[in-house]
């Protein structure tokens, strides 16, 4: 890939990253707001404007994504919204629903991207390529704007599929660990939340998640692409 092509694809990557992480965090904040915790709302983070989220996490929203793309050709990063820990202790199941909202937002974007790709195939705008990559799971029949849209939809599909499954890992500080209180009694959920918050498990959890996910995600990604194209079977 030429430098200009890599730079242009990087712009598409960053747009997809901003949309995905912002919607993820807004979903957390909005759900918390609806369930009684106004912390994110009062802090100005229940908004699709990415600027407040960037201001809260400039390192995870700008520096790390751009560096990871420069080094590896894809983007990774993080964002967050504030919440009341006292509220989560008082209502651990509501807290679990708040945690679930973020990954569900990413799943929603996967479905939107998949629907757009299949709709494009019906109108002969897109077709299934001979080979697939993380940012090339559909191709345009003609060069130009539809080629750009096809690349963006490919990135949106793959990135949000990754965010959905990665965040569902039941390891702190990922959302999957925050969903655990949904299956616990109130007393056990409160003890669990205190334990996770005060222990060094967050660092260990990130280390395990990062190392395990490289083995877990590729077959998931391939399987989901084969679901997108049931008439084909990629290997």
pTM reported for the whole predicted model: 0.95
Note whether residue 233 is domain-resident. no
Q: Is the preceding peptide bond at 173 cis, omega within 30 degrees of 0?
A: yes
Note whether residue 173 is domain-resident. yes
3-class SS at 25? helix
Note whether residue 78 is domain-resident. yes
Q: d(Cα 233, Cα 222) in Å, to the nearest integer?
A: 9
End-to-end CA distance of the chain: 23
Note whether residue 27 is domain-resident. yes
By residue range, what is the domain housing residue 84? 3-228
Number of domains in the chain: 1
Q: What is the residue-level pLDDT of the chain in tens, covering all 235 positions? A: 555 788 999 999 999 999 999 999 999 999 999 999 999 999 999 999 999 999 999 999 999 999 999 898 889 899 999 999 999 999 999 999 999 999 999 999 999 999 999 999 999 999 999 999 999 999 999 989 999 999 999 999 999 999 999 999 999 889 999 999 999 999 999 999 998 887 677 778 888 888 888 899 999 999 999 999 998 889 8
In 3D space, the residue among 118, 135, 116 whose CA is nearest the CA of residue 12 turns out to be: 135
Note whether residue 234 is domain-resident. no
Task: Report the interhelical angle of 145-167 vs 92-122 (nearest 10°).
Answer: 150
């Amino acid at each position: 890939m030429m430098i200009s092509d890599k730079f242009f694809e990087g712009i598409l990557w960053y747009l997809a990253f901003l949309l995905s992480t912002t919607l993820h965090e807004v979903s957390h904040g909005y759900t918390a707001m609806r369930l009684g915790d106004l912390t994110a709302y009062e802090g100005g983070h229940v908004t699709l404007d990415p600027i407040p989220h960037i201001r809260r996490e400039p390192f995870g929203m700008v520096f790390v994504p751009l560096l990871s793309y420069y080094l590896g050709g894809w983007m990774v990063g993080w964002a967050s919204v504030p919440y009341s820990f006292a509220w989560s202790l008082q209502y651990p199941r509501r807290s679990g629903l708040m945690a679930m909202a973020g990954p569900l937002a990413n799943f929603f974007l996967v479905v939107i991207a998949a629907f757009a790709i299949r709709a494009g195939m019906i109108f002969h705008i897109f077709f299934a390529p001979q080979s697939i990559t993380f940012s090339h799971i559909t191709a345009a029949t003609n060069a130009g704007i539809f080629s750009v849209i096809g690349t963006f939809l490919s990135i949106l599909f793959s990135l949000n599929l990754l965010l959905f499954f990665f965040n569902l890992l039941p390891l702190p500080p990922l959302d999957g660990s925050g969903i655990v209180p949904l299956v616990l009694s109130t007393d056990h959920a409160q003890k669990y939340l205190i334990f996770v918050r005060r222990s060094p498990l967050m660092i260990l959890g990130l280390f395990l998640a990062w190392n395990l996910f490289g083995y877990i995600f590729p077959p998931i990604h391939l399987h989901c692409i084969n679901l997108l194209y049931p008439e084909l079977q990629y290997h």
